[in-house]
């Protein structure tokens, strides 16, 4: 069968739905477990960085019904009670929430390294986090009005905006540029953080306890930010540019769809298991695959500020 005929193939849509369900469920289970560990871990509870990571995990978990119901809709051939449409509309809003939370995390690390007090102020932190969730919910609410819309069409693999409604295209473009600006600022902040870490390493001995703790933690967060940045740019480009030019071509729509669960489920889980040593230790110990002594919390002082390492 020619690839362009996949849109009209029942078997192709069923296979697409099954794969969507399997990818979501397989990665959902460890992500739920990781989130529970984060919530129970005191170092995640007591630091702003940890609270942000918990919020990011919760945000990603709330997205999973969108991928699940979309898979079911393609398997049965229709969107039952518009569950997939409503669930993926929420995903569209939460993607903006995720972008803002990631930017807050970047500024939080910058505030710690440069001792910028107001960036780490409790009120500023919670106002910024509340704003992130409000932005996501606001976009979801707008897409549920007669002015703009988002839907899962089982005749096409990729969920998309309802262009018949007057402001759907405006919301799509605004959301795209909003994320591009957020990602660009975040990337710039992490470049500055990297330069600061290099400067600190040259200024002090790399073996110093304080600097070593800083380097280890910032390296972990930097790799996480870099991986997410690359996947988000690829996802945005594929969805908004490639799919726009190729419209409903199966290669473009299938690729752009599966980049979303990859970015918001697979990449975070791999990061926490492979890179985050503390969570990896807790995770493996719970499954009795790895036994080691519980690591002590590292406390160090940077510019007179006591910081608790995750």
Helix (H, G, I), strand (E, B) or coil at 78: coil
Contact status, residue 150 vs residue 161, Cβ threshold 8 Å = yes
If phi > 0 it is left, if psi is from -120 to 50 it is alpha, else beta; for residue 115 that is left
Nearest to 74 by CA among 150, 1, 12: 12
Asked whether residue 274 is domain-assigned, the answer is yes
Structural domain containing residue 263: 10-279
Report the distance separating Cα 97 and Cα 129, nearest Å: 9
Asked whether residue 252 is domain-assigned, the answer is yes
Query: What confidence tens digit (pLDDT) does each residue in 115-160 have?
Result: 788 888 899 999 999 999 999 999 999 999 999 999 999 988 889 8
End-to-end Cα distance, the chain: 52
CATH of the domain at 67: 1.20.1070.10
27 CB-contact burial (10 Å; exposed 0-12 / middle 13-18 / buried 19+): buried
Asked whether residue 310 is domain-assigned, the answer is no
Asked whether residue 290 is domain-assigned, the answer is no
Instruction: Give this prediction's pTM.
Output: 0.83
Report the distance separating Cα 182 and Cα 184, nearest Å: 5
Q: How many domains does the chain have?
A: 1
Query: What confidence tens digit (pLDDT) does each residue in 94-104 have?
Result: 999 999 999 99
Percentage of the chain surpassing pLDDT 90? Answer: 45
- For residue 116 the two structure tokens come to 């910028």
**pLDDT exceeds cutoff 50 at 206:** yes
Length, in residues, of the chain: 310
Provide mean pLDDT across the span 247-264: 85
The label of the residue with tokens 């609270």 reads 51
Asked whether residue 258 is domain-assigned, the answer is yes
**Residue 308: which H helix or E strand, with range?**
strand 305-308
Asked whether residue 33 is domain-assigned, the answer is yes
Asked whether residue 192 is domain-assigned, the answer is yes
Report the distance separating Cα 166 and Cα 142, nearest Å: 12
Nearest to 90 by CA among 67, 115, 109: 67
Query: What confidence tens digit (pLDDT) does each residue in 267-287 have?
Result: 999 888 877 776 767 666 666
Confidence (pLDDT) at 310: 45
Asked whether residue 307 is domain-assigned, the answer is no
Q: Which residues pair with 167 in a beta bridge?
A: none
Nearest to 50 by CA among 105, 100, 98: 105
């Amino acid at each position: 069968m020619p690839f362009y005929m996949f849109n009209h193939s029942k078997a192709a849509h069923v296979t697409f739905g099954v794969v969507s369900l399997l990818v979501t469920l397989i990665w959902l289970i460890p992500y739920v477990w990781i989130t529970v560990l984060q919530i129970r871990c005191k170092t995640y509870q007591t630091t702003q960085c940890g609270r942000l990571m918990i919020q990011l995990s919760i945000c990603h978990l709330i997205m999973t019904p969108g991928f699940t119901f979309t898979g079911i809709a393609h398997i049965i051939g229709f969107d039952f009670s518009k569950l997939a449409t409503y669930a993926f509309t929420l995903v569209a809003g939460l993607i903006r929430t995720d972008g803002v939370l990631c930017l807050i995390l970047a500024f939080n690390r910058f505030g710690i390294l440069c001792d910028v007090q107001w960036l780490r102020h409790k009120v500023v932190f919670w106002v910024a986090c509340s704003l992130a969730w409000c932005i996501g919910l606001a976009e979801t609410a707008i897409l549920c009005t007669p002015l703009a819309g988002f839907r899962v069409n089982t005749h096409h693999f990729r969920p998309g905006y309802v262009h018949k409604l007057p402001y759907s295209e405006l919301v799509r473009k605004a959301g795209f540029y909003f994320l591009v600006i957020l990602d660009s600022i975040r990337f710039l902040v992490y470049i500055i953080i990297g330069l600061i870490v290099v400067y600190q390493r040259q200024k002090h001995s790399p073996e110093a306890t304080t600097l070593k703790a800083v380097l280890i933690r910032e390296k972990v967060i930097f790799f996480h930010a870099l991986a997410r940045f690359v996947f988000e740019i690829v996802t945005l480009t594929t969805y908004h540019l490639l799919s726009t030019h190729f419209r409903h071509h199966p290669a473009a729509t299938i690729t752009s769809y599966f980049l979303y669960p990859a970015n918001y489920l697979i990449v975070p889980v791999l990061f926490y298991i492979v890179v985050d040593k503390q969570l990896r230790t807790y995770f493996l110990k719970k499954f009795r695959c790895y036994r080691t002594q519980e690591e002590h919390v590292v406390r160090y002082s940077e510019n007179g500020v006591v910081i608790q390492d995750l």
